[in-house]
Structures are given as C-alpha cells and as structure tokens.
C-alpha cells in the first residue's frame, strides 16, 4: 500500500484566489451591455472561469490522488 499523497501544494491556493478574483464580476462597469455568444460578457467570463476551476481542480487532484496500480500486485 502506498503512503498518503499529503496536502495540496501552497501555490494552489493562490491559483484559486486568482480565479475567484477573475470569476466574480465586481470589476465590470455598470451598464456594460457587451454580448458574447448572445449572453452578457460578465456571464461568459464567469462561465469560462468556472470551467478553468473545474479543469484545474481535476488536474490537481489527479496528480495527488493515490493510483490504483501502485505495483503491489
């Protein structure tokens, strides 16, 4: 049996904070009516950042998760 993977690296918290800052539309100007694919630009940005968060989380956890084939067979 392999040893536990341990905690996540500290830099991952900085990435999550940066993505949170990019994904929350507090910096968009009031009255901005820019459309991207028929939806407001701030909604498109929030959806894009949510997709990046999901991909980053999957990549980060797949690297840290213990594998099924650890060579003990």
- In this predicted model, what pLDDT tens digit does every residue of 22-36 receive, in sequence order? 988 888 888 888 999
Task: Report whether pLDDT(44) > 60.
Answer: yes
Q: Is residue 48 part of a domain?
A: yes
Q: Which domain holds residue 51?
A: 35-64
CA 69 – CA 44 distance, rounded (Å): 40
> What percent helix, strand, coil does the chain show, rounded to 5?
55, 5, 40
Confidence of residue 40 (pLDDT cuts 50, 70, 90): very high
pLDDT confidence bin for 4, thresholds 50/70/90: low
Is residue 18 in a domain? Answer: no
How far apart are the two ends of the chain, measured CA to CA in Å?
Answer: 10
| Count of structural domains, the chain | 1
């Amino acid at each position: 049996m392999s040893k536990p993977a341990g905690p996540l690296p500290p830099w991952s918290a900085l990435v999550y904070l940066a993505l949170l800052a990019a994904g929350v539309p507090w910096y968009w100007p009031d009255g901005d009516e820019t459309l991207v694919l028929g939806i407001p630009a701030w909604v498109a940005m929030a959806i894009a950042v949510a997709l990046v968060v999901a991909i980053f989380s999957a990549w980060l956890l797949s690297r840290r998760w213990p594998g099924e084939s650890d060579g003990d067979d």
